[in-house]
Structure 1
Amino acid sequence: MSFSVKSHDDFLLYWPAELYTAVPSRPFFPRGFLWDEGFHQLLIWRWDLHISLDIVGHWLDLINIDGWIPREQILGAEALSKVPAEFVLQHSSNGNPPTLFLVLRDLVNGIKKNKFTASESNDIISFLQQAFVRLEAWFQWFNTTQLGKDVGSYYWHGRDNLTIRELNPKTLSSGLDDYPRASHPTEDERHLDLRCWMLLAADCMNSVAELIWKENKPEKDYSSTSNLLSDFDTLNQMHFDHASGAYFDFGNHTEKVRLSWKENMIGNNYVNRELVREVLERPELKLVPHVGYVSLFPFMTRIIPSESWILEKQLDLISNRSILWTNYGLRSLAKTSSMYMKRNTEHDAPYWRGPIWMNMNYMILSSLRHYSLENGPYRDKARAIYEELRDNLIRNVVQNYHQTGFLWEQYDQKQGKGKGARVFTGWTSLVLLIMAEAYNEM
């Protein structure tokens, strides 16, 4: 069951629903995850277009009157039995990456490039015409509720600014869970990945509108939002650090935070001890200096011009063994980060703080290939990195499969061993598209 929230203390049961969807792992995650599903559909539409359209339609049918879709669909007793209580209640102020636009963009581009039969193209256009009102509502929900203080900025809602037990307050709504953000959550935050997801959404909405409404186009102008978010100078002013050559989040931050053991006493009696957060200096508004997957979102969304020196900086970060590069794929957080492989609480092992994830590696590979085909001074460098990274990912996944019989949720950055949930035939299956060199297009 999924839940919507009306106020801080008044939780309402989400309406009875059914969902036709893929799941990340049948034994471990037997429920729909919104941000996983966009990656799943990159595979499924190539296998059966109509199943993919049906699945996307089911997800869009779960939208509420405000345009919000819950990030997890916990439907039925089996799914509920697998979910920790803290994840069951979902707040309607919190989103999840709108990755369904990845597959919609693929379908629109496929029509433009005549990759479909006439019948298939007509079916896609008919689906988009029916789905458009829901897509508009979903986009508008993001573009109003997740706006930051500065024009063209966004931030993920749902971070706990009162926690005393987390080293860095989690950002579950981003899908990247414990990836380090600003140490002290505020409304001043600017989240780089969400800004780039919104560029994808605005660009896709504009393309869909042009495709299905050749006449009597809707009044909303998505191209203006797309142009704003793709402006390279504005992006750099908000998120680029010249010293490191990297892109970062912005927020109220200090690096001097740690977890320390605290002994709890009642009178003179020892009760227990726990790890609690200790802040050693006052935070200030600044770029959050953690290189990792989030830093590469402008590269993944191809905002960086092919002739820019900043592109070479991104290629250097990707290929640097002391930062992101491993023989098994790109790690989620740089070895140089103060949060690298740090536990977030006494009980929470690092999740997006080092291990290798296939969905992000797929998107990075997609852009490496793009830049390797673009005219520019760095195309040969992009091509060499692309070929080696692709080989590393394929080799490691295949080797693990031969050794264990499974695809895994994530892979260890030191030895390449599968980690997390096994039978993870969700987005780890993107390795098939990597083998086929079938990438998402912009």
Structure 2
Amino acid sequence: MSGNVRTTARSRVRSSSAEPETDPLRQETSSNYHRTKYESNSTSNFKLFLTITFFFIIIIFFLVHHFVTSAAQPHLPRVVTPFPAPKIMDLPQFQGEHKESLYWGTYRPHLYLGIRARTPQSLMAGLMWIGVKDGSNHLRHVCRQEDALSAYGWTKHNGRDYGHQVLVDHGMILTTEFIKSKGEGSGYGWDWAVRIDVQIDKSKWNEDFGRDAQLFFYLADEGGNVLDAGRENLNIRESSLLASGSRTDIGNWQLHLKSTDDLKLHYSGFHTPHFHNLSDLVEENLASQTRKHGQMQLPDSSDDSPNVLVFQIIGGFPFTTDIVFISATNSESSRVEKRVNSLTGDSLSNELKYKEQAYDEKIEKIFNLAEKVDSESISVGKAAVGSLLGAIGYFYGQSKIDLSRTLIHSEHAAYISYWPAELYTAVPCRSTFPRGFLWDEGFHQLVIWRWDIQISLDIIGHWLDLMNIDGWIPREQILGAEALSRIPEEYVPQHPTNGNPPTLFLALNGIINGLKNNEFNVMDRSEISLFLERAFGRLDAWFQWYNETQSGEQMSSYYWRGRDNMTTLQLNPQTLTSGLDDYPRASHPSSDERHLDLRCWVLLAAQCMHSIEELLNKETKPEKNYGSTVKLLSDLEILNEMHFDDVHGAYFDFGNHTEKVQLKWKELKARRQLVREVLERPVLKLVPQIGYVNFFPFMGRIIPSGSWILEKQLELISNRSLLWTDYGLRSLAKTSSLYMKYNTEHEAPYWRGTIWINMNYRVLSALHHYSEESGPYQEKAKTMYKELRSNLIRNMVHNYQQTGFLWEQYDQVNGKGKGAHPFTGWTSTVVLMMAEAYDII
């Protein structure tokens, strides 16, 4: 114990200034021990200091690098940031054999005949010819309504490897047939051939126009690869070879021409970076030759390193020629001569006949038309499907995005480019709208998914892959120089605040119901499920974009963005985003608007998403409960409170509105022009216009079959003083204040009375639904259904026989086709009317 006390005392004393007596040896040992311990601690601390300093330097370096990089490379706006998920088109089902089988096609729908591959830098082919109009020669190439062809369009096309087209040009009749073949030795994408048959209608052809036809078939390589002409003096009796070349995708290739008729050939080679104006190059070349030599023929010469070769084919009426493209000619098993022979002459005739028969049989198998319509209607149904599939195109480029509406205090338009993207899609009209339109595409797919589910999923997948990080998809796709050349510059920019009806959900609903009804084989069912699994995130984001950005002031209300509330020229500000353009809405756009059609589109999307969730056994998230959304938007009491008018028995838009608006001539800026004049103060109320929009709840089957409201809808639809005609339903009632009124001095009425087939199809679908639902109005719905279906089919078939076209719209007075033609987009739903195949909700 004393020892403990001493030790403790020593310890305490050693901390004082007095030094006690100690053993020298122990003192030395203790001193060494403490020095070693101190030196060890100092070394460790120094190493720790160096380590921490090093890490701080690294962190500072990365921070500086980040800020420097950020300054050098500004962060891209969200609007041009792709959706952060694996692309749908990277799914295995879209690779391999599927991708190769669709590589080549008639994917340049804006041309009378245009062929390319589904790749950004493609080898392309096309046809031109010299036609006669009003006694003058005109070079045909790009589909134009001003060419005034009597008829043109794919009367048969399977979307994959066969097509048959007839073009009638003022007495000259050209038949073009396209076919692909996977022969022994074929390269990637297979071989393809075009047969061109030229005839004249002697009753319409004046011999002063000439006794020879002049065709121009060309190849153009977007990748800049050099094309080689077969020889300087082309003579098909000596050799069928026209051209050859090489590409990384298909290897070496050759182009051959064969004919049993006496043809003369000339050619010209061009080197150009531009491919949207090839007909200008040919016209300039022919004009130069005519001035120099007095002959309208190509010079049989070429620029250095040509990437365009044009072959002039001259023959007396009538004649037929076969043009064959052979790939992988450098392989050991190329068998070029055998493959050329298999795609020309009698062999080609037999193969075309087989493909035509297969097309006819597939039409009957899928649509079962023989039991439902007459032979004249069947031929129109075949042409409707063929024209739609033959107008599928492939595009590559960047959309132009207008940011001015998203920037604060922006006085000038600010544009930015979307990321480079490809799009495989059907188009509404080859002459007027040869590009992708989001709201049209859903109607196209109602036909296409029934015809070929793989092609349909491919198209829908391409569209969904265009989605940005916010879930927005540009509504009009103008991709690449050829597409840009067909539209005025002011209409190119897309606005990220603006939507379009999400009609792809119409098609997806049909596909899902097809799954439920076992309409697909095992492989198709598997691929559809994989597609929906991959697409779900994008579809969810797309729905949320509509639900959040297009919502209104009141819960479960929606309104289309993009209306101009400052206009002084438009009688009723357009709603282009709705797809119904000049259809009358509230006279004074505001955030108080409630658009009935958009509310129903959102409901359709929610129903589809709920079905997909159930199909894939997805876990329902409380914040994204599609079942609850469907229940809310289907609630008839809420819908009626927001949109229904008891007096009219109709559903209406709601907004800041007055009927007393007119266009009046005034002197403005030293010229006389029509200006909008408002004669009374607008107030918030239902917008009293009767037309397509009023019947969206009817189209969506929201109204119970036993409800008196259904009876009122049927009365309004069948009222001849309002919508009903012998040719289909008017878009706007005759009693409307804006019926067939110009919207500006130059904007003729568009959705203000004429008959549109997509909306008639949806009304017909609903009538069919209610005609099969037991209730007090079942018989009335059945009678109306039969009459409306008959009126629509009869009028479209009659117009096709008279004019050779399906049309964008039909006159409500006489039933004649109007507007863009051939309009083989949603007007092709005529085949679904014939087949009684309707969208199922």
| TM-score, shorter chain, exceeding 0.5 | yes
How far the C-alpha of 1:36 sits from its partner, in A, is 0.2
Matched, 1:149 2:546: no
Matched, 1:309 2:708: yes
Matched, 1:227 2:631: yes
Matched, 1:406 2:802: no
Residue matched to 2:84: none
Matched, 1:397 2:397: no
Give yes or no for contact 1:368–1:383 (8 Å, CA) kept in 2: yes
How far the C-alpha of 1:217 sits from its partner, in A, is 4.9
The code of the aligned residue for 1:5 comes to D
How far the C-alpha of 1:87 sits from its partner, in A, is 2.2
Matched, 1:72 2:473: no
Q: Distance in 2 between matches of 1:297 and 1:3?
A: 32
Q: Distance in 2 between matches of 1:410 and 1:317?
A: 21
Residue matched to 1:3: 400
Residue matched to 1:160: 564
Matched, 1:208 2:612: yes
Q: Distance in 2 between matches of 1:216 and 1:244?
A: 43
The code of the aligned residue for 1:56 comes to I
RMSD: 1.1
- From 687, 697, 718, the counterpart of 1:319: 718
Q: Distance in 2 between matches of 1:85 and 1:350?
A: 23
- Please show how residues 362-401 of structure 1 align to structure 2 within 5 Å: 362-401=761-800
- Please show how residues 213-362 of structure 1 align to structure 2 within 5 Å: 214=617, 216-217=619-620, 220-264=624-668, 271-362=670-761
How many equivalent pairs are there?
A: 436
Residue 382 of structure 1 aligns to a residue whose secondary structure is helix
CA shift digits 1:193-229 (9 cap, x unpaired) = 00000000001001001111x2645563111111100
The code of the aligned residue for 1:177 comes to D
Residue 506 of structure 2 aligns to a residue whose secondary structure is helix
The code of the aligned residue for 1:81 comes to S
Larger radius of gyration: 2
How far the C-alpha of 1:40 sits from its partner, in A, is 0.1
Q: Distance in 1 between matches of 2:620 and 2:527?
A: 20
Q: Distance in 2 between matches of 1:387 and 1:370?
A: 12
How far the C-alpha of 1:6 sits from its partner, in A, is 3.3
CA shift digits 1:317-361 (9 cap, x unpaired) = 110000000000000000000000000000100000000000000
- From 529, 535, 556, the counterpart of 1:125: 529
Q: Distance in 2 between matches of 1:216 and 1:420?
A: 48
Residue 363 of structure 1 aligns to a residue whose secondary structure is helix
Matched, 1:195 2:195: no
* 1:215/1:334 CA distance change after superposition, 3 Å: closer
Q: Distance in 2 between matches of 1:352 and 1:92?
A: 25
Give yes or no for contact 2:729–2:760 (8 Å, CA) kept in 1: yes
Give yes or no for contact 1:29–1:79 (8 Å, CA) kept in 2: no
Q: Identity percentage over the alignment?
A: 69
CA shift digits 1:274-303 (9 cap, x unpaired) = 111000000000000000000000000011
How far the C-alpha of 1:11 sits from its partner, in A, is 1.9
CA shift digits 1:27-86 (9 cap, x unpaired) = 211100000000000000111000000000000000011110011000122222222333
Residue matched to 2:419: 15
Q: Distance in 2 between matches of 1:217 and 1:66?
A: 21
The code of the aligned residue for 2:402 comes to V
The code of the aligned residue for 2:471 comes to G
* 1:216/1:250 CA distance change after superposition, 3 Å: closer
CA shift digits 1:371-425 (9 cap, x unpaired) = 0000100000000000000000000000000000000000000000000001111
Matched, 1:106 2:495: no
Residue 482 of structure 2 aligns to a residue whose secondary structure is helix
Give yes or no for contact 2:575–2:583 (8 Å, CA) kept in 1: yes
Q: Distance in 1 between matches of 2:455 and 2:590?
A: 41
Q: Distance in 1 between matches of 2:457 and 2:468?
A: 20
How far the C-alpha of 1:5 sits from its partner, in A, is 3.4
Give yes or no for contact 2:741–2:752 (8 Å, CA) kept in 1: yes
- From 576, 586, 596, the counterpart of 1:172: 576
- From 424, 428, 437, the counterpart of 1:33: 437
CA shift digits 1:158-192 (9 cap, x unpaired) = 00000000000000000000000000000000000
Give yes or no for contact 2:730–2:755 (8 Å, CA) kept in 1: yes
Q: Distance in 1 between matches of 2:735 and 2:685?
A: 19
Residue matched to 1:184: 588
Give yes or no for contact 1:240–1:247 (8 Å, CA) kept in 2: yes
Q: Distance in 1 between matches of 2:485 and 2:688?
A: 38
The code of the aligned residue for 1:59 comes to W
Q: Distance in 2 between matches of 1:84 and 1:298?
A: 36
Structure showing the higher strand proportion among its residues:
2
Residue 326 of structure 1 aligns to a residue whose secondary structure is coil
Q: Distance in 1 between matches of 2:827 and 2:509?
A: 21
Q: Distance in 1 between matches of 2:827 and 2:446?
A: 12
Residue matched to 1:435: 834
Give yes or no for contact 1:4–1:90 (8 Å, CA) kept in 2: yes
Residue matched to 2:31: none
How far the C-alpha of 1:126 sits from its partner, in A, is 0.5
Q: Distance in 1 between matches of 2:690 and 2:428?
A: 27
Structure 1 consecutive aligned stretches of length 4 or more whose deviation exceeds 6 Å:
none
CA shift digits 1:240-272 (9 cap, x unpaired) = 11111111000000000000001136xxxxx31
Q: Distance in 2 between matches of 1:217 and 1:181?
A: 36
The code of the aligned residue for 2:564 comes to D
Q: Distance in 2 between matches of 1:262 and 1:249?
A: 31
Q: Distance in 2 between matches of 1:120 and 1:95?
A: 31
Q: TM-score, normalised by structure 1?
A: 0.97
Q: Distance in 1 between matches of 2:797 and 2:714?
A: 26
Between 1 and 2, higher relative CO (CA 8 Å, sep ≥ 6) is seen in 1
Give yes or no for contact 1:209–1:218 (8 Å, CA) kept in 2: no
Residue matched to 1:268: none
Give yes or no for contact 1:331–1:354 (8 Å, CA) kept in 2: yes
How far the C-alpha of 1:13 sits from its partner, in A, is 1.4
Q: Distance in 2 between matches of 1:210 and 1:162?
A: 46
The code of the aligned residue for 1:195 comes to R
How far the C-alpha of 1:88 sits from its partner, in A, is 1.3
* 1:380/1:14 CA distance change after superposition, 3 Å: same
Q: Distance in 1 between matches of 2:708 and 2:760?
A: 22
